Amino acid sequence: MKDKLIVVCGAGGFIGGHLVADLIRQGHTRIRAVDLKPLDRWYQRFDDVENLTLDLQGLAACRTAVKDAAWVYNLAADMGGMGFIENNKALCMLTVLINTHLLQAAREVGVERFFYSSSACVYAHDKQTDPTITGLREEDAYPAMPEDGYGWEKLFSERMCRHFTEDFGLLTRVARYHNVYGPHGTFDGGREKAPAAICRKVINAKLAGTNDIEIWGSGEQTRSFMFIDDCLQGTQAIMRSADITFPINLGSEEKVSINQLVDIVESIAGIELKRNYNLDAPKGVNGRNSENTLIRKMLGWEPSISLRTGMEKTYAWIYDQIKSGASKDSVVNIA
Ligand code: NAD
Ligand code: GDD
């Protein structure tokens, strides 16, 4: 595989940028990195790979992106945390054009393997009403009632992958990511997810010497969070696997309430803040956790980096960004 062309779509973003870095580390010599954003706004950029700025919602751009490719990772999407996906459902759904056109182009040029980054947002709403939820199994996506907008797009695109495999023989792999965090991700601008948002808010309070923090919801809602290194390892293991031919959970089983997440960040920062709960803010489901029986069975592996360890690295990176005045706002504005 080392001398075959690997294409990473969404390479200017959080997970795509880390994937390119990891492929370079492994000695891959032919990598094409593609994103909508101008190069100077990519979160990580490597000059020794082919970097293309393309709008992958168009078929012609997708043809350019996958030309001569052996493997394609599709990590491109117009998305964000709850603050973005609850208020931009049409933009989230337009991302369907990216995966649709990439699959069409990949089929035309005979791509060997195609990876699609799906989400825990495909899971049915009625299975996520209780914060004490034990875990979502893969079959809990059906009967379908996913997150409005973003989740429907993900579920539809998963099925598109399946049918391109069944009808056209294009090998596809689909991972359902559960909230991924780490350095080089979005931490401001409106698309950030809870781990980065809480770090930013705690750091800003610490630097300003203020005492309050705003938390969306009651703080009792639960999630699990996966550190980027686990995400990279799992993504590539799923892509390489001979028999993971169906969508599979890629997430941590370490479920915490948002209050517990804030406890961790406060303890890293060495401060305690007064929490103001905003019950009108975007909240999403009451409880969500990954259930990893299937990935343990298929790979003999599952994400294992503790939330405390991952958050220490994430906090340190966001602290440096804020101190240096950097912004990681990833707004793409294409509609
Ligand atoms: P990100 O926003 O950091 O990266 C996505 C990239 O896609 C951005 O750089 C953006 O510019 C690019 N993009 C958007 N529209 C494009 C277009 N028309 N053409 C080309 N590029 C375009 O997001 P991420 O966290 O790296 O997520 C990567 C993938 O994983 C996405 O499909 C996302 O839905 C999925 N996912 C992420 C998480 C998470 O917690 N990070 C959870 C579940 C699923
Ligand atoms: N973003 C954010 N910012 N969330 C906050 C904040 C804050 O300041 N304070 C509390 N929260 C709460 C939200 O209200 C939500 O209940 C919870 O933290 C988690 O929010 P997010 O991290 O934004 O999103 P999510 O876990 O509901 O969904 C994310 O993960 C999916 C995969 O598991 C999203 O990023 C989806 O796009 C992704 O697919």
Note the pLDDT tens digit of each residue in 99-145.
Answer: 999 999 999 999 999 999 999 999 999 999 999 999 999 999 999 99
**How much is the average pLDDT of 22-29?**
96
Edge-to-edge strand list for the sheet holding 31-35 = 50-53, 31-35, 6-9, 71-74, 113-119, 172-177, 248-250
Indicate whether 328 belongs to any domain. no
Domain-located, residue 235: yes
Instruction: Give me the number of domains the chain comprises.
Output: 2
Measured distance CA(107)–CA(209) in Å, rounded: 56
Ligand 1 close to Cβ of residue 196 (< 6 A)? no
Q: State both tokens at 50.
A: 């082919």
- Which structural domain, as residue segments, surrounds residue 288? 182-223+254-300+307-323
Mean pLDDT of 211-221: 97
Assigned domain for 121 exists = yes
Question: How does strand 113-119 pair with strand 31-35?
Answer: unpaired
Residues 109 and 208 in one domain: no
Task: Show Cβ contacts of residue 260 under 8 Å, excluding neighbours closer than 6 positions.
Answer: none
The Cβ-side half-sphere exposure at 95, using a 13 Å CA radius, reads: 31
- Counting beta carbons within 10 angstroms of the beta carbon of residue 144, is it exposed (0 to 12), middle (13 to 18) or buried (19 or more)? middle
Spell out which residues line ligand 2, taking CB within 6 angstroms: 79, 81-83, 85, 119-121, 150, 177-179, 192-194, 197, 215-217, 221, 223, 258, 281-284
Is pLDDT above 70 for 332?
Answer: no
pLDDT recorded at residue 333:
40
Same domain? For 318 and 187 the reply is yes
What pLDDT is recorded for position 326? 77
Closest CA to 292 of 284, 304, 280: 304
Residue of 86, 91, 155, 193 best suited for mutating to test ligand 2, as the one with most atoms within 8 Å of CB: 193
For residue 33, which ligand has an atom nearest its CA?
A: 1
State the CATH number of the domain containing residue 166. Answer: 3.40.50.720
Q: Is the pLDDT of residue 150 over 70?
A: yes
**Does residue 335 sit within a domain?**
no
140 and 207 in a common domain: no
DSSP 318: H
**30 alpha carbon to ligand 1 midpoint, in Å?**
22
Task: Evaluate whether residue 62 is within a structural domain.
Answer: yes
- What is the pLDDT at residue 3? 87
Q: Where do the H-state alpha helices sit in the chain?
A: 14-25, 59-66, 82-85, 89-94, 96-109, 150-168, 194-208, 228-240, 258-269, 293-299, 307-323
Q: 118 and 187, same structural domain?
A: no
Whether ligand 1 lies within 6 angstroms of the CB of 177 is answered as yes
- Does residue 327 carry a pLDDT above 90? no
**Distance of alpha carbon 110 from alpha carbon 222, whole angstroms:** 42
Does one domain contain both 138 and 32?
Answer: yes
Whether pLDDT at 309 is above 80: yes
> Which pLDDT score is estimated for 59?
98
Q: Are residues 186 and 169 in the same domain?
A: no
pLDDT level of residue 213 (50, 70, 90 thresholds): very high
**Packed helices 194-208 and 307-323: angle between N→C axes, nearest 10 degrees:** 50
Are residues 1 and 71 in contact, defined by beta-carbon separation less than 8 angstroms? Answer: yes
Q: Is 36 in the pocket of ligand 1 (CB under 6 A)?
A: yes
Question: Of the bound ligands, which one is closest to the alpha carbon of residue 182?
Answer: 1
Residue 211 sits in the same domain as residue 258 = yes
Q: What is the pTM of this model?
A: 0.97
Residue 126 belongs to a domain: yes
Is residue 150 part of the annotated active site? The answer reads: yes
Q: Is residue 333 assigned to a domain?
A: no
Choosing from 150, 177, 181, 315, which is the catalytic residue? 150
Q: Which ligand is nearest to the CA of 80?
A: 2
At 329 the pLDDT is 59
Tell me, yes or no, whether 118 and 187 share the same domain: no
Q: How confident is the model at residue 335 (pLDDT cuts 50, 70, 90)?
A: very low
Q: Are 166 and 101 in contact (CB under 8 A)?
A: no
Q: Tell me the per-residue pLDDT of 223-245, one tens digit each, with 9 for 90 and over.
A: 999 999 999 999 999 999 999 99
- What is the complex's ipTM, to 2 decimals? 0.99
In the predicted model, is pLDDT for residue 84 greater than 50? yes
Q: Which amino acid appears at position 56 of this protein?
A: L
Q: What is the mean pLDDT of the chain?
A: 96
Q: Are both 236 and 195 inside the same structural domain? A: no
Backbone angles phi, psi at 30, to 5 degrees: -125, 100
Residue 272 lies in a domain: yes
- Same domain for 23 and 155, yes or no, is yes
Residue with the two structure tokens 């993504």: 235
**Is the domain of 165 the same as that of 24?**
yes
Stretch 168-190: mean pLDDT, rounded?
97
CA 228–ligand 1 middle distance (angstroms): 14
Residues 124 and 20 in one domain: yes
Count H helices, E strands: the chain?
A: 11, 13
Q: What are phi and psi of 10, to 5 degrees?
A: 85, 25
Confidence label for 328 from pLDDT (cuts 50, 70 and 90): low
User: 255 pLDDT exceeds 60?
Assistant: yes
> Encoding tokens for residue 171?
């090998």
Radius of gyration of the chain (CA): 19
